[in-house]
Amino acid sequence: MSENGVLRSIPREMLLIIFAAFAATAVMGYLDAFDRLYQFSRAYEMIHFDEISLFLPSFLAMGFVIYSYRKIQDLEVEIRKRKEIERKLVESEKKYRELSITDDLTKLYNTRHFSSRLRRELDRVSRYGHDLSLLLLDVDDFKKYNDAYGHFEGDAVLSKLGEVIRGELRRTDSAYRYGGEEFTIILTETGEESAIKVADRMREEFESIMTASGQKDMAGRTISVGVTQYVPEENVQSLLMRADKAMYEAKNGGKNQICLLSG
């Protein structure tokens, strides 16, 4: 191993201790301390003290260095343990926060998180003048499906729709289980035309998956989607009401379709 490699393998604290020992030795040499220690040890010898007294200061210094090094090692171990505990605590808190705002069935965010997130997004787009679109989805005739096949199968439908929605989201988008079989999606930096394309991909993919699974009834096999774009300076309630109205118009128009309402 090279000299530089050897130095890198020595802990920084040990290097400091060695440097301090050399510095102390140099100072003692400059002050003739070694001669005085020798004279001191000879004085002890004169009173029948053993020759080992000559080396006593060195033994004490070495003991101090070893003791200090061990204490530093113990301190490093304790610091590493505390950092690991803090890391696990932060991860646990993050996981708990995520679980508190996530719907267990669909793995989308829940309604509680939706309201606060939408307000933040509206504040942001109002400040910077960007586009934002909102989708409101509803599973067609979901109650009939539940009545016919049971809640377990109904939950499977909602879970599958959650997968479809997550697959279409970008990193900046967010989706929520709004309640029952209704879902909302916030599409940032997205105008009406792009929002309609996203909604149509979700509609087609969901119907395709449900048809392939053997579902023959129309109930629970399709979705209706309301699409609207944020109008500058409007409030959350106004945007939501327009998206809700668009979704119900899609249902009243025959279901399994998309309806756009502009502000």
Domain boundaries, the chain: 3-100, 109-260
Q: 18-32, 90-104, 233-247: which has the highest mean pLDDT?
A: 233-247
How far apart CA 91 and CA 79 sit, in angstroms, is 18
Q: What pTM was estimated for this model as a whole?
A: 0.65
How far apart CA 209 and CA 211 sit, in angstroms, is 5
What pLDDT band is residue 98 in, cutting at 50, 70 and 90?
Answer: low
The two structure tokens encoding residue 241: 């009401």
From 1-10, 222-231, 244-253, the region with the lowest mean pLDDT: 1-10
Q: Considering only CA atoms, which of 227, 141, 202, 137 is closest in space to residue 176?
A: 137
Q: Express each pLDDT in 146-203 by its tens digit.
A: 888 898 999 999 999 999 999 999 999 999 999 889 999 999 999 999 999 999 999 9
Tell me the CA end-to-end span of the chain in Å, nearest whole number.
73
Q: Considering only CA atoms, which of 251, 177, 252, 249 is closest in space to residue 260?
A: 249
Q: What letter does residue 230 receive in the DSSP assignment?
A: P
In this structure, the number of other CB atoms found within 10 A of the CB of residue 81 comes to 10
CATH fit for domain 109-260, picks 3.40.50.970, 3.40.50.20, 3.30.70.270, 3.40.630.30: 3.30.70.270
Using an 8 Å Cβ cutoff, are 234 and 240 in contact?
no
181 in catalytic set: yes
Q: Considering only CA atoms, which of 173, 174, 178 is closest in space to residue 158?
A: 178
**Beta-bridge partner residues of 187:** 133
* Average pLDDT score over the chain: 81
How far apart CA 201 and CA 195 sit, in angstroms, is 10
What pLDDT band is residue 73 in, cutting at 50, 70 and 90?
Answer: confident
- Supply angle C-alpha 2, 6, 8, rounded to 5: 115
Report the pLDDT averaged over residues 135-153.
92
pLDDT of residue 122: 94
**Using CA of residue 106, residue 164, residue 186, residue 225, what is the dihedral sign?**
negative
Q: What letter does residue 52 receive in the DSSP assignment?
A: G
Pick the catalytic residue: 76, 181, 189, 192? 181
- To the nearest whole percent, how much of the chain has pLDDT over 90? 48
In this structure, the number of other CB atoms found within 10 A of the CB of residue 230 comes to 24
Q: Express each pLDDT in 4-14 by its tens digit.
A: 554 455 566 66
